[in-house]
Chain A
Amino acid sequence: MTLESRNFLPVEIVFHPSWWNKQYGIKFDEAFFFDPLTRVESERAMRAALHARFGDPSTSSGQVLGLGEANAAPRPVIGPVHLAAGFLPSAVLGCAIKYYDHASPEVIPANLTDAQVLALEAPDLETNPAFRKLIALMDSLEAQYGKIEGDVNWEGVQNVALNLRGSQLFVDYYENPALARRLLNVCAQTIEAMAQYVRRRTGSNSVAVNRIVGAVDARISLHSNCTVAMISARTYREYLLPYDQQLARELYPYGIHHCGVDMHKVRDEYAKVEGAEFFDVGWGSDVAACRAALPNAIFSLRMSPVRVATLPRDDVAADVEALLRAAGPLERAALCCINLDERTPDENVRAMFEVVERYRKYGA
């Protein structure tokens, strides 16, 4: 185990597109993701906005949270790193994408038939129309700036398979296992190829999945297991564990994003993923049980964005305390909250950081 965090107890927050759209007029249309000028200016504006609101000591609150960037300059960031938006692998494999001004892009389920699954192949990324949009963006930014940085959310094997096959995938697990495995294979091959391509060109592939990755070790490849919350540990073990093990070998250093409420359900299975040293631990998961099974992993502890948006400040602080007390060694912990929407009071965000700052200074 070699993964060590660059920073002690890092904290990251990500606002929902609706917050950005309402507060700052940023639109999340296709240009936001793929037009070079819009891409760069949007990221710059987001960094500047975060700093003005949460990072400038001259603001009325006087509290510096360190978010955003002072005097934010244009940077060649290829994918949104202040947003949760996974859609590209599904698009590469044929799903249509719907863009919104105030929401992340939505993958339109393809509902593939048996025959379509049998005909599906992992594409050549260099010629795939959806991926070519990203390549064109990367080439344009690299030509202008001499480098590129950042990455794109590469979803996850079952996440993508569900976008392609719908809930029929779950029935396939019981009634057509070979078909299910064929689809999962294609998804895994595509995801691995995309992650390798992006990391080869920018040096990272998962800051867009969770910004904590950038604060811990930008090399981490973080696989999204969001939909594992819908299946049993046995189904995960039978169908998906082999892909996590394979991807961990190919993409090391490796992590697993489990934003569901039940990471403890599969903690013993996750312990079998050799090379998985970073975990996004979903709100509601039994953190202590997960820590017992994964004693050396770095845990990115996820807060509930609904609770941070709707509860009193003190309750938000109490949520942070509870997570940190259960986390085990604080040098192997981080805190995040993703998709805070327009209902979120700034003071609740500050409450999160205040608790963390106290733990940084004084320990548990």
Chain B
Amino acid sequence: MALLDDLRQGVIDGNAPGTTSLVKQALSEGTPAEKILNDGLISAMAEVGRLFEAGEYFVPEMLVAARAMKGGLELLRPALAAANVQAIGKVVIGTVQGDLHDIGKNLVAIMLEGAGFEIVDLGSDVSPQKFVDAVAAHKPQLVGMSALLTTTMPKMKTTLEALNAAGVRGNVKVMIGGAPVTEKYAMDIGADFYAPDASSAATRAKAAVQGR
């Protein structure tokens, strides 16, 4: 469908006004909201993720694509709700306590939302207790933690211990990432998986909730 192709390209190009205009047009022409979401917005963000992994897109390109995607998604929400279209999962995400860096975490949130997840973004400098409270309140399938400093990385383990002590650790998969974080570190502290970048975070998160 040419309109959805144009919409998809609009997101990839970071054309926010064009994207919202095309979403409106698609809705007015009777295109199902779920089709606009999947074939337009989510498909576009998957391509953005591929371009990022290929080293063709960087943070600015991802951010402007995300803005276009979010603008389209806001227009779609009422129609998606009316059609009872569900997110593929819910993620609670934040940068750990003592760490103010949020660009990496924000990129992961963008890619997760672009992959169809509902995001509860706790921001930065998030205490273990705040993660626990958010899991209890929002009942996500996934928890994502980011740290950019070797001195704040240990808070990932502390948060995992807090989730365990609260009796909710078994209810979620925990994903970690950030510059000093490694696959080995994730295994050592008992996280479920590690993602080296925002694009692979979305891929691995999808696999996690879909039981693959």
Cross-chain contact of A16 among B57, B63, B151, B182 (Cβ < 8 A) = B151
Any chain B CB within 8 A of the CB of A173?
yes
CB-defined contacts of A230 to chain B, threshold 8 Å: 58-60, 103
User: In the docked arrangement, what's the CA distance between A341 and B100, Å?
Assistant: 19
Interface residues of A in 293-313 (CB under 8 A from B): 305-306, 309-310
CB-defined contacts of B150 to chain A, threshold 8 Å: 16, 18, 305-306, 309, 339, 341, 343
User: Which of A16, A18, A167, A339 has most chain B Cβ within 10 Å?
Assistant: A167
CB-defined contacts of B97 to chain A, threshold 8 Å: none
User: In the docked arrangement, what's the CA distance between A102 and B150, Å?
Assistant: 12
CB-defined contacts of B59 to chain A, threshold 8 Å: 167, 170, 230-231
The answer to whether B58 touches A235 (Cβ under 8 A) is yes
Map CB proximity to B onto A224-242 as digits: 1 under 8 Å, 0 otherwise: 0000001110010000000
Main SS of the interface on chain B?
loop
User: A231: nearest residue on chain B (CB-CB)?
Assistant: B58
Any chain A CB within 8 A of the CB of B94?
no
CB-defined contacts of B102 to chain A, threshold 8 Å: 167
CB-defined contacts of B89 to chain A, threshold 8 Å: none
Any chain B CB within 8 A of the CB of A362?
no
- With contacts A108-B100, A306-B180, A306-B182 taken as known, whether A232 is within 8 angstroms of B61 at the C-beta atoms is yes
Any chain B CB within 8 A of the CB of A103?
yes
Any chain A CB within 8 A of the CB of B95?
no
User: Which of A106, A170, A305 has most chain B Cβ within 10 Å?
Assistant: A170
Any chain A CB within 8 A of the CB of B14?
yes
Cross-chain contact of A175 among B64, B100, B106 (Cβ < 8 A) = B64
The answer to whether B60 touches A171 (Cβ under 8 A) is yes
* Shortest distance between the CB of B108 and any CB in chain A (Å): 13
Interface residues of B in 91-128 (CB under 8 A from A): 100, 102-103, 106
User: In the docked arrangement, what's the CA distance between A170 and B64, Å?
Assistant: 8
Any chain B CB within 8 A of the CB of A109?
yes
User: A175: nearest residue on chain B (CB-CB)?
Assistant: B64
User: In the docked arrangement, what's the CA distance between A284 and B79, Å?
Assistant: 46
The answer to whether B60 touches A174 (Cβ under 8 A) is yes
Any chain A CB within 8 A of the CB of B88?
no
* Shortest distance between the CB of B193 and any CB in chain A (Å): 19
User: In the docked arrangement, what's the CA distance between A109 and B55, Å?
Assistant: 27
User: B180: nearest residue on chain A (CB-CB)?
Assistant: A306
User: Which of B55, B150, B180 has most chain A Cβ within 10 Å?
Assistant: B150
CB-defined contacts of A310 to chain B, threshold 8 Å: 182, 184
The answer to whether A235 touches B151 (Cβ under 8 A) is no
User: B104: nearest residue on chain A (CB-CB)?
Assistant: A230
- With contacts A16-B151, A306-B180 taken as known, whether A106 is within 8 angstroms of B63 at the C-beta atoms is no
The 6 A-B pairs of least Cβ separation, nearest first, read A170-B60, A230-B59, A341-B150, A174-B64, A232-B58, A173-B60
